[in-house]
Structure 1
Amino acid sequence: MNTNSVEFFTSRANENFPKSSQIIVAAWHLANAENIGKIIRLAHNLGASEALFIKENENHRASKIKKTAGFSFDQMNWRFISERDFLALLNHQFKLTILETCTGANNIFNEKLPKKTILLAGSESHGLPEKIISMANKKVYIPMPGNCKSLNISNALAVAAFEWYRQQTSV
């Protein structure tokens, strides 16, 4: 049995993805370099146009990020960006979808996600600030039927990002 993923996915090149759809994966004030690396790799797997890490002062060692990002570290378009520069990016071309357990959030599996979106999740310990929550075009959460009511940020972004992808490819 061949388990080469490159060969496997090359043979499925006919899986159509609409050119009108585009996603930027973003995270707010992350503290953990491993999560940054995992999100870079996720964005690369997804075909995201960019991965953004909003933080005023980046203080992570590149070697720690690269360890989990793997070859995506050099092949994916990613960067650290200030809060001010992030706010300047928000425009009418991309809708801001936040992944947060906040008032007004809807179950992600019941929500139609924008074709062009910035998917943003908050820090591991503090989530997103109210000013960002109030700017969101969509507020979504991932339902958790088990007794643990939290997901690691990279896992949560993976669930949300691939739900976005599923919706874009479903006709």
Structure 2
Amino acid sequence: MTIKKRISITSPHNEQVKRWKKLNTRKGRAQERALLIEGEHLLLEAARASAQFEAVLVNRDKEEVYQRIKGELPPDAPVYELAPAVFAALVDTETPQGLAAVITAPVWPRDVWLDKDGDLTVLLLDAVQDPGNLGTIIRTAQAAGVDSILLGKGTVDPFNAKVVRSAMGALFRMPLIQIDLAEAIPMLQSRGVTVVNASPHAGTHHFDYAFPARVALLLGNEGRGVDEKYLPLVDADVTIPMPGGTESLNVSITGAILLYERIRQHFQAR
């Protein structure tokens, strides 16, 4: 495979730079169908997940970072050497590592979450708005073997830079489908999937509930929880006991507790 020649860019008015800057907005990412990722770890994770690299961006003053990992990046990806000021204007971290990339946004088949027989775990997210929460949920979901995550209306863009950083590479492997949950829930149920909602008002503790083999866990907005319009659609409600008196838990923590209780039950039944 031919290694492409490195291209030097010193002007912030360069047309490529203007295009890359658009990737810092949701609209720009949608239009370009691409996202900007930053840092050695994320580039390596993207490469290991066979992401399509459109460009590798190197701060010319931090060449050593690129040299350290270039052998693990796609050899045919165009490499751009950027002046430090140009590079800094593209990324949103306070102390950039000096290495970034533009990759094609991952696209998953819309019905990937419906095609699997047997055991199935799906997360349904209703308007989760904090990027750090969504990134943590994605990372935890991959660790817990979740099959896919359905992003309901009002959920933060999964390709937001803070989401990408928080997900720590899981974003490139976890199927993420944007869909109306009012449409998705009945479709899941028609395929034998039980929809479970975490509610502070439920009468069953999460560790007393026998999670079925095919389950979808519904997690709500940080402020209001799950929208009331979805509550009549769910099959079961569980509560996480909080003897310390805390009113509620962070949504990413709630998701992790439920997922790992499901895993505990699975291993206990073996």
TM-score by length of structure 1 reads: 0.79
Secondary structure, counterpart of 1:145 in structure 2: coil
Q: Per the alignment, do residues 166 and 67 of structure 1 end up closer, same or farther by CA in structure 2, a change over 3 Å counting?
A: same
**CA-to-partner distance for each residue in 1:113-145, whole Å, 9 max, x for gaps?**
111000111111111122311221110010011
User: Which residue, out of 143, 160, 165, partners 1:45?
Assistant: 143
Say whether the 8 Å CA contact 2:158–2:164 is kept in structure 1. no
Q: Is the 8 A contact 1:26 1:118 kept in 2?
A: yes
Return the letter of the residue paired with 2:242: M
| Aligned pairs for 1:102-121 within 5 A | 102=201, 104-121=202-219
SS of match in other structure, 2:253: helix
Aligned equivalents of 2:173, 2:154: Cα separation in 1: 24
SS in 1 for 2:224: coil
Measure the CA separation in 1 of the matches of 2:221 and 2:268.
Answer: 31
TM-aligned CA deviation for residue 87 of structure 1: 3.6
Equivalence map 1:12-51=2 (5 Å): 20-51=118-149
After alignment, is 130-139 or 109-118 more displaced? 130-139
Higher relative contact order (CA 8 A, sep 6+): 1
Q: Give the SS at the match of 1:106.
A: coil
Q: Which amino acid aligns with 2:256?
A: A
Choose which of 175, 191, 199 in structure 2 pairs with 1:77: 175
Task: In structure 2, give the amino acid aligned to 1:67.
Answer: R
Q: CA RMSD in A?
A: 2.0
Q: Which entry has the higher C-alpha Rg, 1 or 2?
A: 2
Residue of 166, 175, 184 corresponding to 1:86: 184
**Count of matched residue pairs:** 152
Structure 1 residue 60: Cα displacement: 6.3
